[in-house]
Chains A and B, each alone.
Chain A
Amino acid sequence: MKSLSLYVERDSFIHRVDPITKLFYIFAAIIVPFVMKDLTVSIVCAAVSLILLAVGKVLRNAITVFACLFLIMITIFLIQALANINNATVVFSISGIHFYAEGMINGVKIIMRMTDMVAAFLILILTTKPSDLVEDLIRAGFSPRIGYVIMSIFQIVPHMAGAIDVITDAQRARGVETKGSLPVRIKAFLPLLGPVVLNSFMNTKERAMALEVRAFDAKNKKSFLNEAVNFRHAMAYRVLFVLLAVSAVAWRAGGVLL
């Protein structure tokens, strides 16, 4: 069964870092380039995040995710190069369409920020078991009930997606069109979705009962079968990431004041 999680099991330094510290990294990796609005900073941040992915031995898995974003990145670059408000300096022209320096620089900046942000999230996603993340969050005070909801989605959603395959075949056998003109296809939409929805909502009632009789509503503090990921210098790294973000904001604020 396909899981929604993209976790890749590897033995690396990044895998041994605890999930919360990775969240601190994401925080810093987003704040710094967005606050400083500087091309070099954006490139450095993107490079650091990509290097960390490589240290975690998951760079190849990350590239498949980036491949999906490639088209969006090209679109952003082109539109910025052609239509940015600050465009003034024509660098070159192709059959009367002008490409401007300001827009192209801005386009690269956006693409670098996007790369940095996506890579930072991928560090967490590719090297952390979702259950470790959620359990650590609950230990840190996150709602255990919502933690349960998040965990269960990783398995329940692929099941529903599997059900769609079965139902598509069944509906096709009964003569419901999944090919043809647009109105025909739209008419096909409801009979496809209907059974899956009704079934899954009936299931939620039964699952809710099954949860309640397993003390899901108990008011006492929850305990955990699995032990927390123990990362030795977690605190030092967290402080470092917060300091980076704070100094970026301070630098920016200082720049505005001066």
Chain B
Amino acid sequence: MHEKKKSPFSPRFTTASLALIPAAIGINFVGKLVVSLLKLPLWMDSIGTILASMLAGPWIGAIAGAVNNVIYGFQDPISIPYALTSVAMGVTVGVMAHYGWTKSFWRVIVLALVMCVISTIVSVPINIIFWEGMTGNVWGDAAYGIILAKTHSVLLASTIDSLIIGIPDSIASVIIAWGLFKALPKNLLQLYKTNTDVEEF
């Protein structure tokens, strides 16, 4: 089998990869459900998006992220602008996975931190535009209030607000997604590799 080198952005909109998206969003939803069931202090609402990005690359990750927030928007319209954050997460994980950042545990931790930083960079401006920099998470917003009172910097307060839950949440979500990724059967992973063509005997 010849594997052609392709950019991570070469489109992979096969039916198999598109069909991944509903499952990814289902997992996001189920993750959220399980977290509330077990009363864990995290969000864990992007495990599916991360997993889909690892499997099928940045494009599918981006679509899964965008569609995820639009669908959540049907329950909670506040989440719609954060589609941009989800898209950024999907793209980041998809590109990094393409370049081998899912190969070992420590690389996966790096992936989680990069993903967290990038999603914070995208979500802080949204927080500032819409909600003066607040996130709606009680712990984060408390920190926001304290820092804002001390430093008068909305940007700093908002960034810390976002990171307080963001860092542990990203690490936990990425590790879980990676664990699931490794548990999937090999022949299933093969379906999402579009850098192969039909060969003749």
Chains A, B in direct contact (C-beta < 8 Å): yes
Task: Please report A residues at the B interface, Cβ cutoff 8 Å.
Answer: 4-6, 34, 65, 68-69, 72, 75-76, 79-80, 82-85, 106, 110, 113-114, 117-118, 121-122, 125, 130, 145-146, 148-150, 152-154, 156-157, 159-161, 163-164, 168, 178, 182, 185-186, 188-190, 192-194, 196-198, 200-205, 207-208, 211-212, 216-217
Alpha-carbon gap, A85 to B38, bound state (A): 39
Q: Does B121 contact A (CB under 8 A)?
A: no
Since A164-B37, A198-B183 are in contact, a sample of 5 more A-B pairs with Cβ atoms closer than 8 Å, ordered by chain A residue number, is A79-B144, A125-B74, A182-B40, A189-B34, A193-B47
Q: Does B148 contact A (CB under 8 A)?
A: yes
Chain B CB count within 10 A is highest, among A5, A34, A205, for A205
Alpha-carbon gap, A225 to B63, bound state (A): 26
**Inter-chain contact A201/B188, CB cutoff 8 Å:** yes
Alpha-carbon gap, A157 to B188, bound state (A): 21
With a cutoff of 8 Å between Cβ atoms, the chain A residues found around residue B78 in the complex are 69, 72, 114, 117-118
Q: Does B3 contact A (CB under 8 A)?
A: no
**Inter-chain contact B63/A149, CB cutoff 8 Å:** yes
Alpha-carbon gap, A72 to B18, bound state (A): 35
Q: Given A6-B75, A160-B27: A121 and B67 within 8 A (CB)? A: no
From A75, A157, A203, contact of B136 by CB (8 A): A75
**Inter-chain contact B29/A178, CB cutoff 8 Å:** no
Alpha-carbon gap, A190 to B175, bound state (A): 11
**Inter-chain contact B38/A76, CB cutoff 8 Å:** no
With a cutoff of 8 Å between Cβ atoms, the chain B residues found around residue A192 in the complex are 34, 37-38
Alpha-carbon gap, A204 to B179, bound state (A): 19
With a cutoff of 8 Å between Cβ atoms, the chain A residues found around residue B29 in the complex are 157, 160-161
Q: Does B30 contact A (CB under 8 A)?
A: yes
With a cutoff of 8 Å between Cβ atoms, the chain A residues found around residue B145 in the complex are 79, 82-83
**Inter-chain contact A196/B27, CB cutoff 8 Å:** yes
Chain B contact surface mostly: helix
Q: Given A79-B144, A200-B23: A150 and B71 within 8 A (CB)? A: yes
Across the interface, name the chain B residue whose C-beta is closest to A202.
Answer: B188
**Inter-chain contact B67/A153, CB cutoff 8 Å:** yes
**Inter-chain contact B37/A168, CB cutoff 8 Å:** yes
Alpha-carbon gap, A198 to B35, bound state (A): 19
With a cutoff of 8 Å between Cβ atoms, the chain B residues found around residue A216 in the complex are 15
Interface range, B side: 35 or more
Alpha-carbon gap, A202 to B51, bound state (A): 14
With a cutoff of 8 Å between Cβ atoms, the chain B residues found around residue A197 in the complex are 23, 27, 30, 51, 180
Across the interface, name the chain A residue whose C-beta is closest to B51.
Answer: A197
With a cutoff of 8 Å between Cβ atoms, the chain A residues found around residue B39 in the complex are 185
From A159, A189, A205, contact of B40 by CB (8 A): A189
A-B contact pairs, 30 of them (CB 8 A): A4-B71, A6-B75, A65-B75, A75-B138, A75-B141, A76-B132, A79-B134, A83-B145, A84-B132, A106-B132, A125-B77, A145-B13, A150-B67, A152-B22, A153-B22, A153-B25, A154-B71, A157-B71, A159-B26, A161-B29, A161-B33, A164-B30, A186-B40, A189-B40, A192-B34, A197-B180, A200-B27, A201-B23, A205-B19, A207-B19
**Inter-chain contact B76/A65, CB cutoff 8 Å:** yes
Alpha-carbon gap, A226 to B31, bound state (A): 35
**Inter-chain contact B22/A156, CB cutoff 8 Å:** yes
Looking at the assembled complex, report how far the CB atom of A180 sits from the nearest CB atom of chain B, in whole angstroms. Answer: 9
Alpha-carbon gap, A82 to B76, bound state (A): 27
Looking at the assembled complex, report how far the CB atom of B173 sits from the nearest CB atom of chain A, in whole angstroms. Answer: 11
**Inter-chain contact A164/B34, CB cutoff 8 Å:** yes
**Inter-chain contact A160/B75, CB cutoff 8 Å:** no
**Inter-chain contact A198/B184, CB cutoff 8 Å:** yes
Type the 1/0 row for B116-135, where 1 means its CB is closer than 8 Å to any CB of A.
00000000000001111010
Looking at the assembled complex, report how far the CB atom of B44 sits from the nearest CB atom of chain A, in whole angstroms. Answer: 8
From A130, A149, A178, contact of B21 by CB (8 A): A149
